[in-house]
Amino acid sequence: MPGKADVLKQVRAALEHEPRINLHRYPVSIDLDRDGTLMLEGDAANIAAKKLALELGASIPGVSGIVDRLRVGPTEAMGDGAIRDHIRNALLQDSALEGCGISVRVKDQMETCRESSAKPPACIEVSVNDGVVTLNGQVSSLSHKRLAGLMAWWVPGSRDVINGLEVVPPEDDTDDEITNAVRAALEKDPFVNPDRMRVSTRNCVVTLDGFALNQKEKEMAEIDAWYIFAVDKVVNPTLLAGSANPALAEAVAGALELRLGRRALERFPDGELHVELQETVRGHDVYVIQPTGPPVDEHLMALLFLADACRRAGAANLTAVVPYLGYARQDRRATGRESVAARLIADLIRTGGFRRLVAVDLHSPVLEGFFGIPLEHLSAVPILAQAVSPLMPADGVIVAPDLGAVKLAERYAKLLHLPMAIVHKTRISGEQVQVRGVVGEVRGRSPIIVDDMISTGATIEAALKALLAAGSGPEAVVVSSHALLVGAAVERLGALPLRRLIVTDSVAVAARLPLPLQVVSLGALLAEAIKRLHEGRSLNDLIAHG
């Protein structure tokens, strides 16, 4: 059992780590009694900060209960009588509560404003003390209980709402009930247009997504959700596009029916990068979409700068969505005097503030062990295999252009129900390879060469020449997750007898290349992964296995 000092230290550390609480501006008194009951007393910036402080405090080992004396700073100075009158009028005027009796406490006496006409009788009793609203009595449904609490919170002078209304007969609370209550709140709020907003709830955690007309409306919608009784957390996803592939980021946002967050990336005359967020991300789950393709260093720095800007602006969680991860090939020392760049990049991404990384078809699965944060390794193989299927000849053969692509080729072969062959090559330099032989039957067959990436095209060129020398069919289909196409790649591939070159848009591909190019978008795959991460659902069927 941790001691009192240790518990209080952990509580304070947890509150300080949450940017929405801001202990420097809103100090909180913390104490713990012998029974493990934690007392939190002081002001909170808003309802979100109050609820988060209570949740964080309750999560610390050694805390058995909480005394809540946190008060929200009022948006307008109001006396208790004015607060009481505002709530009374709101309750009387709402048609959903027209059968409910309303009473208010005035100078220690309860005054009846309307008798109950409901069966069984329902009555809401309102009292206000130093800005703290207490609701007692009984109502016929959870929706009425939540509506009354919302009305109390909407009064500008309210500093806290203690909702003690009893539901008679009792109802089981569910995530659907909470979702419906949040939707109703958004529809009632005159400052919010809910037409393009979506609400979902999982384990009392509300997710808001869709479109808001402006930043103020977005913030109002979030606060409305926090006001709802039994809501433990409100998460709001924000997508930010880096500079590497804005078209892919737009595709992901479109699939999620979200707009991209506003940000500015510009360079000073001396070449320094400057990054600035142009809207709030405080308390949001932020997903930064930035593949680190050529020029790798520029795109990597933009990714890290965006992370730093979000972290300093109070983002709750940061996820790097990096469809193509640069430096992934430098995962070991071949001579003993080289840097292991992939490990350094992994450390930079973690240190930059990201809590999770989403990548697609990494060059080697060993990279997952380099990261000190969770890595979601997605696979584009199923959607690429689907694109290959209409072109697949009956005499096709899946070909791994080198030993490193064997596992990848096995996955394609299994999905397409085709035999497999392997080209044994040795890399001489970054642009030169030497083929030593072909393993497997390729004579008279139409090759489908698969690889995780095409850089200079030298591996594909050498493999296809070896296949032709071994008697394969005259045309080949080439499939790759990442089309870097650097150096002489376009000229090299253009000189080959390719029927089709199928790639994804993990990196931006130039338009009108003199190649039989087919680009398959990762937008839907990445959008589905982001949606599931945001909702806490499994990614198992999207993950690259093996």
Catalytically active residues, by annotation: 425
Q: Mention every residue, 6+ apart, whose C-beta is less than 8 A from residue 490.
A: 457, 513, 514, 515
- The DSSP bridge partners found for residue 161 are 133
Helix (H) or strand (E) holding 85: helix 80-93
The full DSSP string for 471-498 is T--S-EEEEEEEE---TTHHHHHHTS-E
In 3D space, the residue among 409, 389, 390 whose CA is nearest the CA of residue 399 turns out to be 409
Task: Tell me the sheet residues that pair with 476.
Answer: 498
Report residue 521 as tokens.
């978008």
Distance CA(501)–CA(477), nearest Å, equals 6
- Rounded Cα distance, 127 and 83, in Å: 9
73 DSSP 8-state letter: P
Chain centre distance of CA 309: 17
According to DSSP, the residues that pair with 477 across neighbouring strands are 448, 500
Cα separation, 330 vs 342, in Å, equals 5
The alpha-helical segments, DSSP class H, found in 240-398 are: 246-256, 296-312, 341-351, 381-388
In 21-79, alpha helices (H) = 47-58
Residue 374 to residue 392: CA distance in whole angstroms: 37
Amino acid symbol at 90: A
- Sign, CA dihedral 404-407-411-413, equals positive
Q: For tokens 């006396």, name the residue.
A: 79
Residue-by-residue DSSP string for 94-106 = -GGGTTSEEEEEE
* 3-class secondary-structure state, position 335: coil
DSSP state of 435: E
Contacts for 22-29: CB closer than 8 Å, 24+ residues apart = 22/49, 26/73, 28/53, 28/70
